[in-house]
Structure 1
Amino acid sequence: MPEPRFLLLSDVAAELNVSDSQVYHMVRSGELPAIKVGGRGQWRVERAMLERYIEEKYAETAAWVRDNPLAEREAD
């Protein structure tokens, strides 16, 4: 059975190992693209958008690590 195209915010939170409220903030701030569906306006995140978000975070982290190298400890 194929994976669902759209994920609940709780599913996204489980995938990223963060809280539901963190994912809600990411969606509401526009950091993580999502849509509202149904009469009650429930949030859904497309799996492809989540994967793209993860790839972007890997790239941002790699750039940060490159620009912020660990300082070498001085030899005693």
Structure 2
Amino acid sequence: MAEPRFLPLPDVATELNVSESQVYHMVRSGELPAIKIGGRGQWRVERARLEQYIEEKYAETAAWVAQNPLNATDAE
């Protein structure tokens, strides 16, 4: 069976190993693209968008690490 295209916020939280409230904040702030669907307006994150978000975070982290090298005293 194929993976679902859209994930509810609790599943996104599990994927990212963060709290549901953190995911909700990321969605509401626009950091993580999502849609509201259904009569109750439930949030869903498209799996492809989640993977894109993760790749962007890897790039941001790599840039930060390059700009903030670990000093020998930091490693102690």
The CA RMSD measured in Å over matched residues stands at 0.5
- Greater radius of gyration (CA): 1
Task: Tell me the distance in 2 between the aligned counterparts of 1:45 and 1:65.
Answer: 28
| Structure 1: 4+ residue segments shifted above 2 A | none
In the alignment, structure 2 segments of 5+ residues that lack a partner are none
TM-score using structure 2 length: 0.94
For 2:53, the equivalent position in structure 1 comes to 53
**TM-score normalized by the length of structure 1:** 0.94
Q: Secondary structure at the match of 1:36?
A: strand
d(CA) in 1 for partners of 2:70, 2:55: 23
Q: Which runs of 5+ in 1 are unaligned?
A: none
Query: For residues 2 and 72 of structure 2, what CA distance do their matches in structure 1 show?
Result: 48
Counterpart code for 1:3 = E
**Who is 1:15 aligned against?**
15
How many residues of Structure 1 are paired with residues of Structure 2 in the alignment?
Answer: 73
